[in-house]
């Protein structure tokens, strides 16, 4: 079973595709969808849409998972992030792929065993779980793989 995890962002959206077979989980692909800093916001959303639909077409995931929005004090950024996530949900719906969302703490607990784990610990665990020679880069891709791993534990 293939799972496409996405760490949403309107400048950089990380992605990670994993394949789960029994207890074994392996990385299939990971990277990022980058929008241009000079693109207007609708163009950024279009870039995310195109990137996610290409990933779906290329890897044919059975499931998708995305991180929930955390906005802290910047409400405007949370709204923009929500709009980007809406594009990701639309892509999943258009391809009839079930999609789940997880809070960052849930992802950290699933991958590192502690919902308060720091980013470095989560990245090391992603590397170990997937048997990779190094921590996946960019950071957004490592986060996306963690989201996919979290979802795989719930299937």
Active-site residue (options: 7, 19, 101, 143): 7
Active-site residue (options: 19, 67, 101, 143): 67
pLDDT bucket at 69, cuts 50 / 70 / 90: confident
Give me the pLDDT at residue 74, please.
81
Decide if 143 is catalytic.
no
The 8-class DSSP code of residue 153 comes to T
Average pLDDT over residues 22-40: 96
Decide if 124 is catalytic.
no
Active-site residue (options: 19, 101, 140, 143): 140
CA 145, 64, 70, 32: dihedral to nearest 10 degrees? 50
Joined tokens for residue 113: 């065993």
Domain at 6, CATH number = 3.30.420.10
Instruction: Please state the domain count of the chain.
Output: 1
Cβ contacts of residue 78 below 8 Å, gap of 6+?
A: 69, 70, 71
Average pLDDT over residues 22-46: 97
Average pLDDT over residues 57-74: 90
Structure-model confidence comparison of residues 150 and 76, the more confident one? 150
Pick from 130, 126, 90: nearest CA to 107: 126
* Residue 126 scores a pLDDT above 90: yes
Average pLDDT over residues 57-67: 99
Decide if 67 is catalytic.
yes
Give me the pLDDT at residue 71, please.
67
Q: Which domain holds residue 112?
A: 2-152
19: Cα separation from own chain's centroid: 14
């Amino acid at each position: 079973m293939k799972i496409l995890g996405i760490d949403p962002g309107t400048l950089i959206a990380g992605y990670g595709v994993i394949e789960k077979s029994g207890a074994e989980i392996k990385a299939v692909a990971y990277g990022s969808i980058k929008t241009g800093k000079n693109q207007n916001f609708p163009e950024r959303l279009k870039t995310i849409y195109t990137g996610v639909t290409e990933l779906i077409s290329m890897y044919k995931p059975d499931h998708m998972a995305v991180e929930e929005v955390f906005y802290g004090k910047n409400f405007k950024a949370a709204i923009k992030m929500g709009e980007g996530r809406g594009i990701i949900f639309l892509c999943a719906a258009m391809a009839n792929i079930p999609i789940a969302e997880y809070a960052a703490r849930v992802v950290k607990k699933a991958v590192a065993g502690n919902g308060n784990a720091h980013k470095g610990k989560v990245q090391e665990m992603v590397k170990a779980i997937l048997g990779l020679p190094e921590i996946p880069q960019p950071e957004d891709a490592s986060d996306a793989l963690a989201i996919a791993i979290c979802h795989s534990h719930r299937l």
